[in-house]
Chains A and B, each alone.
Chain A
C-alpha cells in the first residue's frame, strides 16, 4: 500500500468529495420536487391520470441508471436540433447531464415510495378530516402529505444512500466526483488498490453520516410512535 500517493492527491479527492455531495444534494432536491406531483398523480383513482406517471416510474425503475445517464449524456448529442439550440448549453456539460439523469431517476424511486405511502394512509385519518369539513386540498396539505413524509422516511433514507452510490457513475462521463478522482489517480499512477479504496472510504463515511442523520430524523418525526418513557 502506497499511502503517499493518496496524500499527494488529497486535494483532488476533496474536490471530488465536494462534487459528489453537491451533485447528490442537487439531484435529491430536484428529484423530490418532481416526485411529489408524480406520486399524487400516480395514486389517483382515475386510470387516465395515473397511467403516465406510472409508466414513468416503471421505465426509470426498470432500467439501469447507467443506461439512463448515457441516453442523456451521449444520446442528446445525436440530435442536430439539440446540438444547435440553447439546449446544448445544458447537455453539452457533463455536470448538467448527470444532474438531469440522477434527478429523473430518483424522482421515479421517490415517487414510488410516496405513492405507496399515500395509498396506505389510514383511512380513518382522512375520514376524520372530512368530518371536520376540510376541502380535498386541505386534506392533502394538512393530513395526507405530512403523514406520508413521516412514514416514508426510512424508505427515503435508503433511496438517499442509493443515490449517493449511483452518483459514482458520474465519474464515467468525465466528471471529477469521488470516483472520477480515484480513476484519475489510478490512470496516472497505476495504483488501483490505493486509489479506489480511498474513494471507498470516503463513500463509506458519507453513508454512515446519512444513516446517522436519518436515525436522528426518525427519532424526531416518529416521536409519537415511541413507547412512552417513564
Chain B
C-alpha cells in the first residue's frame, strides 16, 4: 500500500488560535499602550504579514516559495489599491503584537473576525467566509439526512433557515458528535447541540478523525476548507457531508484583513478593494483554484 502523507490539520491551527486568544489579549493591550502609531501615510507602500504555514491559505511550496490563496489575493488587492506591497512572514503567536508594534501594517493570514480580536485590531470587511459542516460516515444513517436549505447563516436566520436548523438539530438528537477542544466547532456544538446530543471533546483533530472512522462518533463538526480536499481524496472515501453549510454565530463573521486600530483608513481602503474583487468574481476564481470550492464572503 502507498504511504499516506500527513496533512497539516486546519483545525489543529484553530485550537492554537483559540487558546492563545485569552492570554494574548493581556499582552497585546500593553503593547498597544506602549507603542506609538506608525507615521500616517497615504498607503502607497504597505507591509503585510502572513504566517506562511497554513495551506492552502498561505504557505511555502516545495521550492520554498510563498504561495497560497491569500498570496494571490494580496497581489490583486494591492493592484486595486495602487500600492506597493511587501509580504513578510511572522509566527502566528505574536502576530497581532507585531502589528501593533509597527513591524508591519496589515495582517492577511486567515484571521477570523472575532469580538475578542476586535478589541485589539481593526478589521476590513471579510473577503472569505469558509463554511463549516458535519462530516459523517457513508454507512451512518445520518448520511441520508437531506436539508431543505443549502446554507445556514446562524446569526441571521430566515424563517425557512430556522426550520432547516430545527430539522437538523432534530436529526442529530441522541447522536454522538466529536469536536476538537477550544475551537469554533466546540463553541458551536456546545451552543447548539449540547442539549440533545452527546458531545465528545478531543485534544487533537487526528483523534476526532480516527474516532469517526472507527464509528465511535456519529458525526464531527469541521471546517469545509479542510474537509473538502480530504473528502475528495482516498483518505475520505468513507465520509460524506450531512446537512447544510454553516457560517456566522459561533463560527465568527468571516476572515478579514487586520490593521492597527489607529489605521481605520487603511481598513476602509482594503474593504473597498475587497468589495470590488468580490463583485468581479476574482475572489471566487481564486477560491475555486485554491480550495476547490467558493469561499467568497457574501457581498
Contacts and interface: CB of A to CB of B under 8 A. Distances in A.
A and B touch in the complex (CB under 8 A): yes
Given A74-B210, A83-B214, A190 B200 contact: no
B181 interface: yes
Question: What bracket does the count of chain B residues touching chain A fall in?
Answer: 10 to 19
6 nearest A-B residue pairs (beta carbon): A77-B214, A174-B200, A187-B181, A187-B201, A190-B22, A92-B216
Contacts of A188: 190
A155 B207 CA distance: 36
15 contacts: A74-B207, A74-B210, A74-B214, A77-B216, A83-B215, A92-B215, A94-B216, A172-B203, A174-B202, A183-B201, A184-B201, A187-B181, A187-B182, A187-B201, A188-B190
Interface size class of A (residues with CB under 8 A): 10 to 19
Nearest to A74: B210
Contacts, number: 24
A184 B201 CA distance: 8
A183 B181 CA distance: 9
A174 B200 CA distance: 6
Interface of B: 22, 181-182, 186, 190, 200-203, 207, 210, 214-216
Given A174-B202, A187-B201, 6 more contacts: A74-B210, A74-B214, A92-B215, A184-B201, A187-B181, A190-B22
Contacts of A77: 210, 214-216
Interface centre among B182, B200, B202, B216 (most CB of A within 10 A): B216
* Interface SS majority for chain B: mixed
Most B Cβ at <10 Å: residue of A77, A92, A94, A183: A77
Nearest to B200: A174
A83 B238 CA distance: 15
A77 B182 CA distance: 27
Contacts of B203: 172
Interface string A155-175: 000000000000000001010
Nearest to B203: A172
Tell me if A's interface is mostly helix, strand, loop or mixed.
helix
Nearest to B199: A184
A211 B214 CA distance: 41
Interface string A91-120: 010100000000000000000000000000
B237 to A, nearest CB: 16
Contacts of B182: 187
Contacts of A187: 181-182, 186, 201
Contacts of A174: 200, 202
A82 to B, nearest CB: 10
Contacts of B202: 174
Contacts of A184: 201
Nearest to A188: B190
Contacts of B200: 174
A175 to B, nearest CB: 10
A182 B42 CA distance: 52
Interface string A173-187: 010000000011001
Nearest to B202: A174
B62 to A, nearest CB: 32
Nearest to B207: A74
Contacts of B190: 188
Nearest to A76: B214
Nearest to B178: A174
Nearest to B182: A187
Contacts of B210: 74, 77
Nearest to A180: B201
A101 to B, nearest CB: 16
A174 B177 CA distance: 12
A206 B186 CA distance: 32
Contacts of A92: 215-216
Contacts of A190: 22
Nearest to B179: A187
A183 B186 CA distance: 13
A74 B190 CA distance: 25
Nearest to B180: A187
B269 to A, nearest CB: 35
Contacts of B186: 187
Contacts of B22: 190
A49 B190 CA distance: 55
Contacts of A74: 207, 210, 214
